[in-house]
Amino acid sequence: MSAATTIEDCYPITVLPHISRLFEAFTEMRTAPADAPVRAFYASSPFDDRWMQGTTPLLQPERGALVDALVHQNRMWGAGEQTFANLGRLRDGARAVVTGQQVGLFGGPLLTLLKAATVIRKAQLASEAGVPHVPVFWMATEDHDLDEVNQATFVTKAGNETLRSSFPGHRSREVGGLALGEDILPVLERAEELLKYAPVCELLRSSYTPQATLASAFAKLLSGIFHEYGLIVIDASTREFHAMGTPVLEYALKHADQLHDELTRKSEELVAAGFHAQVLVAENSSLLFLLSEDGDRVPLRRVAGAGTERGWRAGLRSFTTEELLAILVESPERFSPNALLRPVFQDAILPTSAYIGGPAEIAYFAQSRPLFEQILGVATAVLPRLSATLVEPTIGAVMQQHEVGLRDIVQPVDLLAQKLGARAMPVEGKRGIAAAGNALDAELNEVTLWMTTMDAGLGRSAGVAASKMRYQMNRLRRLAANWQLEKEAHLRKHAFAITTALFPDGHAQERLIAGVQLLAQSTVDLPAMLVANAEQECPGHRVFSI
């Protein structure tokens, strides 16, 4: 298979649903004026190359210990020669481009592949520019919300099917360390059926064994998919990595009040600028979670006191700052950062030049900038991941038959079906409806204008009446389209197939459909194609035929 590199379609990011104003402004920063409000919340524009030079934060571990730990992990996950070559470059002083994601079942949705491809390509670009960089994928193994990761959604003829495994007695434990157990086997068998036993199933089966954990299985799968590209995968939940990031955790304990005030102020600034604060900064919140003695991950809450006299609560237990600092020295792995502190913790461990994120992560960076500046002395650049819809050959043929593009399909299936029905009507019928609609519109405009010149109130009444008549005209169009749908039943089936694959349940494909299914369906070398197209000449959303 070969890797296609042609940009087939480039859309503004707003073609997708549920895009925040902050992310929209972020993707428009290339052409935004110098005083655009969004610029105040980020260290640099996402579309220039200044990030390649990197900066050295105040906190960094010893390179040898870092690389030794990464070598050990990536060897366990079956990484390829290029990964170990990159680890050698990291040991010799190369910097990192980093991305991350939760350890979703069977690799999670397509966006996992898009992130990995982007971080690989950005590291390549920096290295080609003479500044050695390596790609790193940070697995968010310390999250405790199992429902967010224990699912993989596949496209079927009947609709979308979501697979889940079971983890009895999970409670609020960190998900990365959960053993898959025998319960994974029937789920894996169903996944293979849905993937029609494509070659990727062999990698899937060797990764998702009963002995594996959610984290190790995810790491083996990702390492296998991008085997040729030197991707370094990290699970930072271990004691040794937490020891490297201890200065960040210690600072978050000792300066909790100051950091809370800075975050509150930044959140208010975001809202005042017309954007949103991604994380609610509650009155007693902190930036840390603590593993209880039973293994549950519970948030640390601030209670009465200030500075080192401040009290803390984790679940039903109370602590002093001194007690927590003592636990941090003895067992640093019991502490983990929340979503706002995680990138700071990460960049105290890795020599990061830029982070590759999706809309939510990029919003985190806007809110957490004061954390970077106070703890590390510098804010890391954040760049958007590749955003794409992938069209497999069968769906592509149906879309070509009906001459529909992405804008046509980002809507409920019934609306797309009506559009297909309207397009399938006989030419004379379409001409007649169009002529009647145009004539009615012209006459209504003329009458409404004349009545408005006579009296403003009369004109408003005319406008209301005209709207009702236009509604009835549109109703005629829908009736004709629906009749055509009844006559040609395959049109509704085609609309259902297109939206199920590309706009499932009203969501962007990249956020819901399992990436392994797109790998199984692709007629090109999908990892190569994604990496080749992750330079982001298009700052918005791309559509590729695979």
Least confident of 174-178, 226-230, 485-489: 485-489
Q: What is the pLDDT of residue 145?
A: 84
Q: What are the helix (H) ranges across 425-545?
A: 427-454, 456-487, 490-502, 509-512, 515-521, 526-532
User: d(Cα 97, Cα 120) in Å, to the nearest integer?
Assistant: 8
State which of 7-16, 299-308, 444-453 shows the largest mean pLDDT: 444-453
Are the CB atoms for 176 and 235 separated by under 8 Å?
yes
Q: What is the mean pLDDT of residues 498-527?
A: 94
Least confident of 27-36, 127-136, 415-424, 489-498: 415-424
The amino acid that residue 323 corresponds to is E
Each as own residue / partner, the long-range contacts of residues 67-75 (CB below 8 Å, 24 or more positions apart, any chain) are 67/91, 69/238, 69/240, 69/241, 70/232, 70/234, 73/219, 73/233, 73/234, 73/235, 74/223, 74/232, 74/233
User: d(Cα 502, Cα 406) in Å, to the nearest integer?
Assistant: 9
Instruction: Answer yes or no: is 330 within a domain.
Output: yes
User: d(Cα 79, Cα 271) in Å, to the nearest integer?
Assistant: 44
Last residue of a domain, one of 316, 337, 358: 337
Last residue of a domain, one of 273, 307, 337: 337
H and E: helices and strands count for the chain: 23, 15
Q: What is the pLDDT of residue 7?
A: 44
Q: What is the pLDDT of residue 267?
A: 94
Last residue of a domain, one of 337, 365, 391: 337
Instruction: Answer yes or no: is 389 within a domain.
Output: no
Q: What is the pLDDT of residue 200?
A: 96
Q: What is the pLDDT of residue 98?
A: 97
Q: Is the pLDDT of residue 517 over 70?
A: yes
Instruction: Answer yes or no: is 129 within a domain.
Output: no
pLDDT in tens, 24-36: 999 888 888 888 9
The residue with greater pLDDT, 393 or 417, is 393
State which of 17-21, 419-423, 451-455, 468-472 shows the largest mean pLDDT: 17-21
Full domain range(s) for residue 452? 411-502
Residues 415 and 498 grouped into a single domain: yes
Q: What is the pLDDT of residue 451?
A: 85
User: pLDDT exceeding 70 applies to what percent of the chain?
Assistant: 92
Q: What is the pLDDT of residue 480?
A: 66
Q: Which residues contact 166 (CB under 8 A, 6 or more apart)?
A: 183
Instruction: Answer yes or no: is 419 within a domain.
Output: yes
Q: Is the pLDDT of residue 420 over 50?
A: yes
Q: 288 in the Ramachandran plot: left (φ > 0), alpha (ψ -120 to 50) or beta?
A: beta
| Strands 297-303 and 159-163, sheet pairing | unpaired
pLDDT in tens, 270-300: 999 999 988 888 889 999 999 988 888 899 9
Q: Mapping DSSP to helix (H, G, I), strand (E, B) and coil, where does residue 189 land?
A: helix
- pLDDT category at 171 given cuts 50, 70, 90 is low
pTM of the complete model: 0.88
Instruction: Answer yes or no: is 145 within a domain.
Output: no
Are the CB atoms for 394 and 368 separated by under 8 Å?
no
Instruction: Answer yes or no: is 142 within a domain.
Output: no
Instruction: Answer yes or no: is 84 within a domain.
Output: no
- pLDDT category at 369 given cuts 50, 70, 90 is very high
Instruction: Answer yes or no: is 239 within a domain.
Output: no
Residue with tokens 């080192």, as numbered in its chain: 308
Q: How many domains does the chain have?
A: 2
Are the CB atoms for 148 and 178 separated by under 8 Å?
no
C-alpha dihedral (203, 206, 210, 212), degrees to nearest 10: -90
Radius of gyration of the chain (CA): 27
User: pLDDT exceeding 90 applies to what percent of the chain?
Assistant: 62
Average pLDDT over the chain, rounded to whole?
Answer: 89
